[in-house]
Structure 1
């Protein structure tokens, strides 16, 4: 996980920016696959802030997927509401 932890103010600003976004990555029945990780990584590189939809009714499993995905792509969880995750990763190329 990145060492530059977001402040509460930054999280609120990112939540506001993410409000109008649509999910760009879907985690389906296969769970966290290599292709999901690659797609998430590419989306974060392109947009810095994305929404991910995790299908499945098991909340604990969704949290596990969220944690594993954040670790795999070195992103921070901004918000988790139901089956939607908002992830952020600083774009180092900007």
Structure 2
């Protein structure tokens, strides 16, 4: 579980990142969450955009993405989700205590 200070730090780090995944009309599926989990192992912090044609509630989509990838939901701002998961082999981000 992330503290408020750690979430603030991660939001600042994610500011300049561009979204690498998009959730469209099909919604969240197992294949997508598997790919997101792999991307998190490499990058630790990613952005995902929720397209306008997605019919699900954006809060539900964000929770489903975080749960499926076993990651922490850092932020949901507009239609952009920021996820963080500490990497086992490629640790790059040092979180504040």
| Superposition TM-score, scaled by structure 1 size | 0.86
Paired residues for 1:1-94 under 5 Å: 5-56=1-52, 61-93=57-89, 94=91
Unaligned runs of 5+ in 2: 92-97
The two structures, once aligned, show a CA RMSD in angstroms of 1.8
* Aligned-residue offset at 1:62: 1.3
Q: Is the 8 A contact 1:21 1:51 kept in 2?
A: yes
8 Å CA contact 1:56, 1:62 repeated in 2: no
Whole-angstrom distance in 1 between the partners of 2:52 and 2:41: 26
Q: Distance in 2 between matches of 1:8 and 1:57?
A: 32
- Write 1 or 2 for the structure with the bigger share of helix: 1
- Please state how far the C-alpha of 1:58 moved relative to its aligned partner: 7.2
